[in-house]
Chains A and B, each alone.
Chain A
Amino acid sequence: MRIAIMGAGGLGAYYGAMLQRGGESVAFVARGAHLRALLSDGLRVDSPHIGDFHLPHVTATDDPATLGTMDAVLMGVKSYDLPAACEAIRPLIGAGTFVVPLLNGVDMAERIGAVIGPGRALGGTVFLSCNVIAPGHLRHVFNGPFVFGELAGGRSARADALEAALLHAGVAARQSEAIRTELWRKYIMVAALAGTSGTTRLATRQLMADADTRALFVAAMREGEALARASGVLLEPDIVAQHIAFADGVSPQHTVSLLLDLRAGRRLELDTFQGTIVRLGEKLRVATPVNRMLYAALKLHADGARVD
C-alpha cells in the first residue's frame, strides 16, 4: 500500500516506521527539526516491546503536493491542527484514498470527512504510547492496539487491506465493526481524566487517591456516558467502573498529556475534550455541568500560557 503519515509526531512516525519496515510504501509529512532529521538520518525507534530498529532512509517532506496520491493517509496531527492538515492532504487524495485519524476525540472522522468527503474517513483510536525523544528518534512506551473501522459499522475491503498491512508489519491492530462504540468508550475516560487532571494539576494516581478529586473524575465521566447514550451509542453498563479500575491501576508516573502541555505552556486539546462535550451536551440536551466547569477552569490556558 501507498501510505502517507500526516503529522509525524510520536504515533504517526511509529506507525509509518513499522509499515515501512513491513514493506509498505510510506511517506512522512513533517516539519522543522524533525523533518530535517528524517531526511538526513532516517528514523530510529527504541522499543522494549518489539526491539530497537533504525530506518536509514525514509521519504519525508513538508509539501504533500510532491508525493502524489495515496491509498491511505494516517492523520497524526494534534486536533487543533486538524483543519489545516485536512486542507494540506488534498493532493494525496485519489479515487480510493481513505483517511484514518490517530487523534483523540469522538468526532475526528466527521471533521476530516467534512473537508475531504464524508465517505473517505474511517474512525480510528490508538491505545499505544510513543514519544518523540529527539528529532528523528522515537521511544515506544506502551504497546496497545490501533483500532479502526467504518463509521457505518461492519467490515470493508479497504479496512481489511489496512488491517492486513498493519498485522503483516507486526503492529498491534484490529479492525472494529463498531468503531463508534470503541471511540466513545475510550473518549469518556480520556476526556474526564484530561479535564480533571489538568484542573487539579494532579497525576492520575494522586487524583484517584483523594475522595473528592476521584468523585470529580467520576462525575465528569458519567456526563460523557450520558452523552454517548444520547448519541445512540450503547456502552457496557459497567463502563465507568471499568475505567475507574484502569485509572486506579496505571503507573504512579502516569500523567495525562493535557497536564504536561499545561505545565509547559503549550496549546491544550481542550476543545477535543471539554469543549466538544459542552457543545454536544447543548445540542443533545444533556446536562454537562462538571465538564462545563472544567472547561471554564482550563480555557484561559487553552492557547498556551504556563501555570504553576
Chain B
Amino acid sequence: MGAGGIGSFYGGLLARAGADVVFIARGPHLAALRTHGLTVLRDDETFTVQPVQATDDPASVGAVALVVLATKAYDLEAALEALQPLLEPETLVLPLLNGVDIVERVAARVAAAQVLAGLTYLPVNRPRPGAVHQPGPQRRLILGEPRGPATERCRRVVQWLRDAGIRAETSDDMPAQIWTKLMLVTANGGVCGVTGSPIGTVLADPDTRALYRDCCREVEAVAGACGVRLAPDAVEATLAHADSTPPHNRPSMLQDLEAGRRLELDALHGTVVRLGRAHGVPVPVNTFIYAALKLRAAGRPG
C-alpha cells in the first residue's frame, strides 16, 4: 500500500520470490507497473517482475494476509481509509512510515491487535515510473510488537520477508527502534534541508556537524521524556551511521525541497517540537529547523 520507492522495492523482491503481491499505486508509476512491470536496480543486479498485480483500487483486491504500509506520513489517513477492503480479522498491518505516532494513527482505523510496528533504513530512489533503485548494501527492516517483545507472528513475517531476500529482523523494543530511526531522519533531513547540502558536506564542517549532533541529542532527550530509553550510544551510533552513508547522498527531505515537493516536516521536527514543549524539554535546534522549513513544507504550488 503506497508503492513508492520502499514499497516497490520490497514488493518487487517478494513478487520475484513467488509471493502473491499486489501493488497499490497511483499515477505514472501505476501506469508503468501495468504496462512494463516493475524494474529493481541494485548495485549487483537488475531484475524486472512482469506482469505485476497493480491497482489504485483496494476494493478490487479483497482481503489479504499482510498489508505493508509505505506511504508518506501525511498520506497515512487517506491510505487507511482506502485500505479497509483489504482487511479481515487475521490481516496484519505493518507500517514502515517515519514518525513516532504511526502505530496509534493506524490503530485508529485498524483493530489494534492487527497492527505491528515497523521501520526501514533502506534508502531507495525512483529513477523513473515503474523502476526503483536501491544503492549500496541493503539496510535493515525492523519489525515487532508495538509494545513488548517480538511474538511468534513477528518472527513468521520476518521469515517470510527473509525468504524473499529482504534483510528483516525482529526487535523486542520497537519504541526505542522507532525513536532511534526518528533521530536519524530528523537530523539527516533537517540539517541537510536547512543547509541545502548533501550529508557528507554537512558532516565534514564542524559547525553543521555540531548542529547535526545537537539535533540528535534533542531527539534523545524527548524520547527519554516520553519514557523511551534509547541505547546509551544512540547519538554516536546515528552519527556513525550517517558517516557511513555515501557523502553525496541527499536525504529525501532535501530532494523534496529541491523538487518543490511536500515535506514530512510535521511527522519529524514538528513532532519533536510538540513533544518537547509538552514535556518541558528544550528543543532549540528542532524549533529552528521547523521554522526554517515550515513555509516550504507544503511544496511549491503547481
Stretch at the interface among A1-9, A164-172, A205-213: A205-213
A206 to B292, CA, bound (A): 12
A: residues with CB less than 8 A from B are 199-202, 206, 210, 212-213, 215-216, 289-290, 292-293, 295-301, 307-308
Contact of B211 among A206, A216, A290, A293 (CB under 8 A): A293
Interface size on B, residues (CB 8 A): 25
A210 touches B294 (CB 8 A): yes
A296 touches B196 (CB 8 A): no
Stretch at the interface among B98-106, B165-173, B202-210: B202-210
A290-B288 contact given A296-B210, A300-B196, A300-B208, CB 8 Å threshold: yes
Taking the nearest CB of chain B, how far is it from the CB of A206, in angstroms? 7
Contacts of A295 in B (CB 8 A): 207
Taking the nearest CB of chain B, how far is it from the CB of A294, in angstroms? 8
B295 touches A200 (CB 8 A): yes
A200 to B290, CA, bound (A): 10
**Taking each of A206, A296, A300, which has the highest tally of chain B beta carbons within 10 Å of its own beta carbon?**
A296
A296 to B284, CA, bound (A): 14
* Seed contacts A297-B195, A300-B208; 9 additional CB < 8 Å A-B pairs: A212-B294, A216-B292, A289-B284, A292-B207, A296-B205, A297-B194, A300-B197, A300-B201, A301-B196
A215 to B295, CA, bound (A): 14
Q: Identify the closest chain A residue to B194 (Cβ).
A: A297
Taking the nearest CB of chain B, how far is it from the CB of A3, in angstroms? 41
Taking the nearest CB of chain B, how far is it from the CB of A219, in angstroms? 9
Contacts of B296 in A (CB 8 A): 200-201
A296-B207 contact given A301-B196, A308-B258, CB 8 Å threshold: yes
Contact of A293 among B197, B258, B284, B295 (CB under 8 A): B284
Contact of B194 among A199, A210, A212, A213 (CB under 8 A): A199
The 6 A-B residue pairs whose C-beta atoms are closest, nearest first, are: A212-B291, A296-B207, A307-B196, A297-B194, A296-B211, A216-B291
Contact of B292 among A289, A297, A300 (CB under 8 A): A297
B195 touches A296 (CB 8 A): yes
A216 to B288, CA, bound (A): 7
Q: Identify the closest chain A residue to B193 (Cβ).
A: A297
CB of B257 closer than 8 Å to a CB of A: yes
Taking the nearest CB of chain A, how far is it from the CB of B234, in angstroms? 22
CB of B285 closer than 8 Å to a CB of A: yes
A300 to B284, CA, bound (A): 21
A206-B257 contact given A297-B194, A300-B197, A300-B205, CB 8 Å threshold: no
Contacts of B258 in A (CB 8 A): 308
Contacts of A298 in B (CB 8 A): 195
Contacts of A199 in B (CB 8 A): 194, 292
A210-B295 contact given A293-B211, A301-B196, A307-B196, CB 8 Å threshold: yes
A308 to B256, CA, bound (A): 11
Taking the nearest CB of chain B, how far is it from the CB of A295, in angstroms? 6
Contact of A308 among B196, B208, B291 (CB under 8 A): B196
Taking the nearest CB of chain B, how far is it from the CB of A145, in angstroms? 33
Taking the nearest CB of chain A, how far is it from the CB of B20, in angstroms? 43
Contacts of A289 in B (CB 8 A): 284
**Taking each of A290, A307, A308, which has the highest tally of chain B beta carbons within 10 Å of its own beta carbon?**
A308
Q: Identify the closest chain B residue to A198 (Cβ).
A: B292
Taking the nearest CB of chain B, how far is it from the CB of A204, in angstroms? 13
A293 touches B288 (CB 8 A): yes
Contacts of A300 in B (CB 8 A): 195-197, 201-202, 205, 208
A64 to B239, CA, bound (A): 52
Contacts of B287 in A (CB 8 A): 212
Q: Identify the closest chain B residue to A214 (Cβ).
A: B291
28 contacts between A and B (CB under 8 A): A199-B194, A200-B291, A200-B293, A200-B296, A201-B296, A202-B295, A210-B291, A212-B287, A212-B290, A212-B291, A212-B294, A213-B292, A213-B295, A215-B291, A290-B288, A293-B211, A293-B284, A297-B194, A298-B195, A299-B208, A300-B195, A300-B197, A300-B205, A300-B208, A301-B195, A301-B196, A308-B196, A308-B260
**Taking each of A210, A292, A300, which has the highest tally of chain B beta carbons within 10 Å of its own beta carbon?**
A300
A296 touches B292 (CB 8 A): no
A299 touches B207 (CB 8 A): yes
A290 to B197, CA, bound (A): 20
Q: Identify the closest chain B residue to A290 (Cβ).
A: B288
Taking the nearest CB of chain A, how far is it from the CB of B147, in angstroms? 33
A54 to B107, CA, bound (A): 74
A215 to B288, CA, bound (A): 10
A202 to B294, CA, bound (A): 11
A293 touches B294 (CB 8 A): no
A152 to B39, CA, bound (A): 73
Contacts of A293 in B (CB 8 A): 211, 284-285, 288
Contacts of B207 in A (CB 8 A): 292, 295-296, 299
Interface string of B270-302 (1 = CB under 8 A from A): 000000000000001101101111111000000
Q: Identify the closest chain B residue to A295 (Cβ).
A: B207
A206-B295 contact given A293-B211, A299-B205, A308-B258, CB 8 Å threshold: yes
Taking the nearest CB of chain A, how far is it from the CB of B259, in angstroms? 9
